[in-house]
């Protein structure tokens, strides 16, 4: 069981409050129940709970005002505030977050997941899943089954139900299937595109949630001169290359052009950095609840003895990834293969190991494998990186995730 939590439940319906409390107590937590929001406002600061779970529609002091006042109390700065409401409108979610809520759950609550979701929210845990780990082209061979054959797509689930998706290789179709099978509706998601090369965007048209009313998406990524993200995405669906256009999207799909810098995306602090790759390509650094996740793919570092090596760029990238809890990065080639692929915009095992060492990252995840590589070849790259880092005394955890692998950050 996770650490025992103290949760204050506020709902003018005693039945609903007791149901919520029972779900928490069944998971081993303490639940304090109140059916009067004004009374709860005076008692919560004394209780100093780990979390407050409250309804929106309450007489006297509604959930918005309760949230606003609680968030103004310095002694409750570390307390998580969770709205639970039968109102599933996107506006309500946005407004609650603006008032200072950490999460918005729609009733009826899931008996199977609610307590775990609260635990993850208090801990600030991000759930990361790898839907595709290959680069350039998908593969389907007996020697590639263990790591999987789909191209790059990585999802990040936040405890409050928000979803971030990095890149849209063929792996995003598996994510689409999983969302549908799980009954995920009213999605509030961001798709962060590193760059518009085909293996990073060409399966967006097959992402079924785009065609479902009630979902909300923001597709973010680098523009290319006068070509915006909207133009880049819609061009591959203009009717010549694909029979369905972006006009068929039933979801609320918005587009956002990103440059190198600092951004707030979906309530999350995100830094971006232009990478060493043909065309504009962005690396992403997400910071949330004390956790840091870096996604840096399609990036060529060059070996230390190369005439094309830029120590200044290598240091900037190391600073960008500094002390990350997890770095997901392009490790396309073995060191031997790299010599035949200079200026292709990708890195080798030793180059990636050096980046992780200089940045002092806690965990390193190797992705974007060359389509010609077998599972055994990826194993060898992983071993090379582990040996390189161990030889320098680094305590970095190193893994090459298989398709559908899930980690917590």
| pLDDT reported for residue 103 | 87
pLDDT, tens digit, for every residue of 44-71?
Answer: 999 999 999 999 999 999 999 999 999 9
pLDDT, tens digit, for every residue of 166-219?
Answer: 999 999 999 999 999 988 888 889 999 999 999 999 999 999 999 999 899 999
Closest CA to 118 of 243, 1, 284, 223: 1
> Homologous superfamily of 6-123 in CATH?
Response regulator (3.40.50.2300)
CATH 3.60.15.10 in the chain, residue ranges: 127-408
Determine the Cα–Cα distance for residues 40 and 60; give it in Å rounded to an integer.
12
CATH 3.40.50.2300 in the chain, residue ranges: 6-123
CA quadruple 342, 169, 246, 253: dihedral sign: negative
Q: Rounded to the nearest 10 degrees, what angle do helices 37-47 and 63-71 cross at? A: 30
Closest CA to 327 of 348, 302, 352: 352
Model confidence at 1: pLDDT above 60: no
pLDDT, tens digit, for every residue of 132-154?
Answer: 999 999 999 999 999 999 999 99
Other CB atoms within 10 Å distance of the CB of residue 232: 20
Q: What is the CATH number of domain 127-408?
A: 3.60.15.10
Whether the CB-CB separation of 195 and 280 falls below 8 Å is answered with: yes
């Amino acid at each position: 069981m996770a650490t025992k939590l103290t949760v204050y439940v506020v709902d003018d319906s005693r039945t609903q409050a007791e149901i919520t409390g029972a779900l928490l107590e069944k998971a081993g937590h303490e639940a304090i129940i109140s059916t009067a929001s004004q009374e709860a406002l005076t008692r919560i600061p004394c209780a100093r709970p780990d979390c407050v779970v409250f309804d929106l529609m309450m007489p006297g002091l509604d959930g918005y005002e309760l949230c606003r006042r609680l968030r103004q109390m310095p002694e409750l700065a570390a307390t998580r505030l969770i709205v639970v409401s039968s109102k599933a409108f996107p506006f309500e979610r946005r407004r609650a977050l603006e008032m200072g809520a950490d999460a918005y759950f729609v009733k009826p609550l899931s008996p199977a997941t609610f307590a775990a979701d609260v635990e993850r929210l208090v801990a600030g845990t991000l759930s990361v899943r790898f839907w595709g780990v290959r680069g350039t082209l998908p593969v389907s061979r007996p020697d590639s089954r263990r790591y999987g054959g789909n191209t790059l797509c990585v999802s990040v689930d936040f405890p409050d139900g928000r979803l971030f998706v990095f890149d849209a290789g063929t792996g995003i179709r598996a994510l689409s299937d999983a969302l549908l099978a799980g009954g995920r509706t009213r999605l509030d998601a961001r798709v962060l595109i590193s760059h518009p090369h085909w293996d990073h965007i060409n399966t967006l048209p097959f992402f079924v949630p785009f065609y479902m009313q009630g979902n909300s998406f923001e597709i973010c990524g680098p523009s290319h001169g006068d070509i915006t993200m909207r133009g880049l995405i819609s061009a591959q669906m203009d009717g010549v290359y694909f029979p369905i256009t972006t006009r068929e999207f039933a979801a609320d799909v918005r587009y956002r052009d990103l440059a190198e810098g600092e951004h707030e995306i979906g309530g999350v602090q995100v830094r971006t950095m232009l990478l060493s790759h043909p065309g504009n390509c962005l690396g992403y650094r997400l910071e949330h609840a004390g956790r840091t996740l870096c996604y840096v793919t399609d990036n060529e570092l060059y070996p230390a003895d190369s005439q094309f090596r830029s120590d200044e760029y290598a240091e900037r990238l190391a600073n960008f990834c500094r002390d990350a809890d997890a770095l997901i990065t392009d490790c396309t080639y073995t060191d031997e293969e790299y010599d035949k692929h200079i200026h292709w915009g990708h890195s080798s095992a030793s180059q990636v190991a050096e980046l992780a060492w200089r940045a002092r990252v806690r965990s390193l995840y190797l992705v974007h494998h060359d389509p010609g590589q077998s599972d055994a070849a990826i194993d060898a790259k992983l071993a090379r990186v582990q040996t390189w880092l161990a030889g320098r005394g680094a305590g970095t955890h190193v893994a090459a995730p298989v398709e559908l692998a899930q980690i917590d950050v």
